[in-house]
Amino acid sequence: MNLKRTTGLLAILAVGALALTACSGGSTGASSSGKGDELAGLSGDVGAKDFSEQYILANITSQLFNAHGANTKANTSVVGSANVRAALVGDQFLGYWEYSGTSWITYNNNTTPVQGEQAQFDATKKADAANGIAWLDPAPLNNTYAFAILSDKAKELGVTKLSDIAKLPVADQTFCIESEFSTRDDGWPGVKKAYGLDAVPDSNVALLDTGVIYTTTAKGDTCNFGEVFQTDGRIPALGLTVMQDDKSFFPVYQGAFTLKQSTLDKYPGIADVVALVSSKLTTEEMQKLNAKADVDGDDPADIAKSWLTEQGLI
């Protein structure tokens, strides 16, 4: 899994001399499927972090912009959340999709999340406004941490929410998690404290790479509960069920398009155009789109084009 949630800004790697009109991977220039010209004159790169969901969102946004008169490209070449944010700050990207929890904790240096989806978004939007960065109205999707279990196993154990786990025999309290998650305050240490899992021995916790967690959890032998990201398409594809975070422990990672306030001031139509797609991007819809990339192996640009066409937006 890609690092979406770094707890502190990583050292900024060279992101290259990417001018706003630089050529990059992903969707290409202005579309012939014109839906309006309110973004005429807008050009540049729509950025993305280095995982499928972001590649899809960048291509959806770029292609939609181009259908409304812009000339943009989806740039999927920059690695790491901190570097993508730096590319926005440095005007190398005209915008990209960010997550409220990431900005609140990582970029705005807060140690604890704000409880409640809307409250978290509002706090993040206000904090970033002071940085000259605007947040457009968010999508319903919440790409937060979660624990998933094989659906048949959940029925066998009689569990639906995280607070059910502590009631199980210790032998059934087995977990697969990432190494980063194992040390984060909003990860395993906090989960154990919040849900009364301090009795879980280290031998019941396997540290695995993200992709392996999904397949291992689906097998149900090494662990019953796997740490996942809620919008990942492998959850439904592998027959997994997400456990309810009934104590609202995990931060909200609601997705929204972010850009410089100066760019939005120059092209206010961006907000209206992004609004055409944002309300449609639910957690379930994003799972389906992500599965096309991570399970079926489809190209993000093709996924974006097909989806936008199905929605009648291009």
Domain ranges of the chain: 43-142+253-310, 145-242
**3-state SS, residue 287:** helix
> Residue 159 and residue 243: Cα distance in Å, rounded?
8
Candidate ranges 19-23, 50-54, 211-215, 307-311; pick with highest mean pLDDT? 307-311
* Domain 43-142+253-310 identical in fold to domain 145-242: yes
User: With 90 as the cut, is the pLDDT of residue 15 above it?
Assistant: no
Q: What is the pLDDT of residue 54?
A: 96
CATH number among 2.60.40.1220, 3.90.960.10, 1.10.940.10, 3.40.190.120, domain 145-242 = 3.40.190.120
Secondary structure of residue 305 in the 3-state scheme: helix
Check the CA dihedral 202-174-149-215 and report its sign. Answer: positive
Residue 47 pairs with which residues in a beta bridge? 75
Would you say residue 278 has pLDDT above 60?
A: yes
pLDDT the model gives residue 19: 37
Beta strand ranges found along 8-63 (DSSP E): 43-47
What is the DSSP secondary-structure string of 222-277?
S-SEEEEETT-THHHHTTEEEPB-TT--SPP-BEEEEEEHHHHHH-THHHHHHHHH
Q: pTM of the predicted model, to two decimals?
A: 0.82
pLDDT at 25 over 70: no
Cα–Cα distance measured from residue 69 to residue 296, given in angstroms and rounded to the nearest whole number: 32
Is there a contact between 98 and 256 (Cβ–Cβ < 8 Å)? yes
- In Å, what is the CA distance from 43 to each residue of 30, 35, 56, 157, 201? 9, 17, 19, 54, 54
3-state SS class at 135:
strand
**Cβ atoms 19, 257 nearer than 8 A:** no
pLDDT band, residue 185 (cuts 50/70/90): confident
Lowest mean pLDDT among 18-22, 58-62, 172-176, 238-242: 18-22
Dihedral angle, C-alpha 106, 273, 63, 103, nearest 10 °: 0
* pLDDT number for residue 199: 92
Q: What is the pLDDT of residues 186-227, one digit of tens each?
A: 789 999 999 999 999 999 999 999 889 999 999 999 999 999
pLDDT greater than 50 at residue 302:
yes
Closest CA to 110 of 182, 186, 162: 186
pLDDT value of residue 36 = 86
Q: Please spell the DSSP secondary structure of 162-200, one letter per residue.
A: GGGGGGS-GGG--EEE-TTTTT-TTSHHHHHHHTT-TT-
Fold of 43-142+253-310: D-Maltodextrin-Binding Protein; domain 2 (3.40.190)
The pLDDT of residue 31: 42
- Give the Cβ contact number of residue 219 at 10 Å: 10
Q: Is the pLDDT of residue 20 over 50?
A: no
Q: Is the pLDDT of residue 273 over 80?
A: yes
Q: Which of 16, 45, 42, 40 is closest to 28 using CA atoms? A: 45
Distance CA 49, CA 82 (A): 9
Give the mean pLDDT of 284-313: 96
Tracing tokens 């978004």 back to the chain, one arrives at 121
Give the per-residue pLDDT at 5: 46
Q: Read off the pLDDT of each residue in 259-269 and give the average, rounded to a whole number.
A: 98
As a whole number, mean pLDDT of residues 262-285 equals 97
Instruction: List the one residue out of 141, 143, 146 whose CA is nearest residue 282.
Output: 141
Residue 251: predicted pLDDT? 87
The model's pLDDT over 141-183, given as tens digits with 9 standing for 90+, comes to 999 999 999 999 999 999 999 999 999 999 999 999 999 889 8
pLDDT tens per residue across span 71-116: 999 999 999 889 999 999 999 999 999 999 999 988 999 988 898 8
Torsion angle (degrees, nearest 10) of CA 12, 20, 63, 26: -50
